[in-house]
Amino acid sequence: AQKVTQAQTEISVVEKEDVTLDCVYETRDTTYYLFWYKQPPSGELVFLIRRNSFDEQNEISGRYSWNFQKSTSSFNFTITASQVVDSAVYFCALSEPNTNAGKSTFGDGTTLTVKP
């Protein structure tokens, strides 16, 4: 079973629209970590956020916000007032230190296109 599911393969929005990227994870561990990475067209992978399983507070960083809900095993990412520069592939990842030490399992990614 896939541990990290990003059901949205591609999303296209017009600049200034808000957009939410979904991430659903599966784990039996009580201690785990969730990540979001951005991969712009240039190809590099850029870290966005790391969240541990004991911290369910939502996070806001500028136009970016993350909604972590353990009840639904989701860690969704919202971009407010999207910009063309937000166009990228976004990956959600799960790390389970107790049962899968050191490994991060990545979702298949969501390709976001922001049109001017």
Q: Pick one of 65, 73, 80, 104: the residue that binds other proteins (CB under 8 A).
A: 104
Q: Give the range of 12-20, 41-49, 59-67, 73-81 binding other proteins by CB under 8 A.
A: 41-49
Contact flags string 44-73 toward other proteins, x per CB under 8 A: xxxx--x-----------------------
Name residue 89's amino acid: V
Q: What DSSP string runs through 15-81?
A: TT--EEE--EE--S-SS-EEEEEEE-TT---EEEEEEETT----EEETTEEEEEEGGGTEEEEEESS
Q: Pick one of 109, 110, 112, 114: the residue that binds other proteins (CB under 8 A).
A: 109
